[in-house]
Copies of this chain bind each other. A is one copy, B any other.
């Protein structure tokens, strides 16, 4: 088997941790696998370097930031290779450039354009474990670029795709994806499997485990991801293609997003273009709108509701209050949260939403907004009910079974 491992900052956060990772890699190699290992910077390094840059400038040039920040992953890659060699495992450390990773020119949030896997393949053919500095590549001018926060996950998935690897194992300090946040519902269970689409909808559950862009890329390239812990030998969670030959699980998990604020605009003139005007102005202020709800018109006006991140509510408020025509009263609430029920089984089963509404109603939790997709039902409720809502939904769908 050809397997790509990826170790995040906490997993390589000290010399002892790097040694432990080296042992894990050595074991997998001795079991007969070919291995490519993608590493992040030691935890804290990237933030330290950002702090250094901010000492000199509020808006340091992104090209220089990339040269600065890409150094941390190189250090880890070289150290892990040295550690492996010290254990008698033949290995070679590569920068993003040496691993053949070409990106576009968008410094600090570059996209991978292509990977030429020949250099990696040649080293693998010689029996070496290939260690790649994650999070980085070079652009067409030969300048170093980085892929944005969590970019090492993206490196790992892209490399696994280019090498047609059998799996891409993402190691962190969490041992998999849970049916909900175990700090809220202790009965939360680790899933053995989850589909790419469910994982994307459950982003808030996996945010600390898997970068969303990497899941999207894995879906596109059909790379089998496995979320595992580098601190234990527990089986992880496989993220892969929805199985065709078995009945899909109705509900996979309950996600919670606390970082939500609600805006409601009443008496919006019910004519084409008003919503477009409002959301264009919000976009120009770079306010990230999440859910958008508009009710059908009754008396020639309609109500428009949407959510934004809590730290953007004041800017959103300024935009809406300056909007001087065709709207009536408005209402802002930054003490709401979004609870979501996710499952591919919803596609073919009705009643999932109704079950959720009924269960919350029984607990006297008022649902302020509702939004649904093929595999998700999201509900905005008062933030004080966040934990209760999560536990209630986790229970009603028997996710602890």
Q: Contact residues of A with B, CB < 8 Å?
A: 15, 18-19, 22, 49, 52-53, 55-57, 60-61, 63-65, 67-68, 70-72, 74-75, 77-79, 81-83, 85-86, 92-93, 95, 97-98, 142-144
Contact = CB atoms under 8 A, between A and B. Distances in A.
Nearest to A42: B52
Nearest to A68: B78
A24 to B, nearest CB: 15
A52 B93 contact: no
A64 B52 contact: no
A97 to B, nearest CB: 7
B82 A74 contact: no
6 interchain residue pairs of minimum CB distance: A68-B78, A57-B86, A56-B83, A71-B71, A60-B82, A67-B78
Given A49-B75, A78-B64, A93-B67, A143 B55 contact: no
The residue in A18, A56, A93 that gathers the most chain B C-beta atoms within 10 A of its C-beta is A56
Contacts of A142: 97-98
Contacts of A68: 74-75, 78-79, 82
A55 B75 CA distance: 14
22 contacts: A15-B52, A15-B56, A18-B56, A22-B56, A52-B75, A53-B78, A53-B79, A56-B82, A60-B86, A61-B85, A63-B92, A63-B93, A64-B82, A64-B85, A67-B74, A68-B78, A68-B79, A70-B74, A71-B71, A71-B72, A71-B75, A97-B142
A143 B85 contact: no
A296 to B, nearest CB: 53
A130 to B, nearest CB: 12
A143 B79 contact: no
The count of identical subunits is: 2
Contacts of A143: 98
A49 B77 CA distance: 13
Contacts of A57: 82-83, 85-86
Name, among A18, A67, A68, the residue most crowded by chain B CB atoms within 10 Å (CB to CB). Answer: A67
A61 B79 contact: no
A360 to B, nearest CB: 50
Contacts of A93: 63-64, 67
A19 B54 CA distance: 12
B60 A85 contact: yes
Contacts of A15: 52, 55-56
Contacts of A67: 74, 77-78, 93, 95
Contacts of A83: 56-57
A75 B142 CA distance: 18
Contacts of A19: 55-56
Given A49-B75, A57-B83, A64-B93, 11 more contacts: A19-B56, A53-B78, A56-B83, A56-B86, A60-B85, A60-B86, A61-B82, A64-B78, A64-B82, A64-B85, A97-B142
A22 B56 CA distance: 10
Contacts of A85: 57, 60-61, 64
Nearest to A51: B15
A61 B75 contact: no
A182 to B, nearest CB: 35
Nearest to A53: B82
A72 B18 CA distance: 20
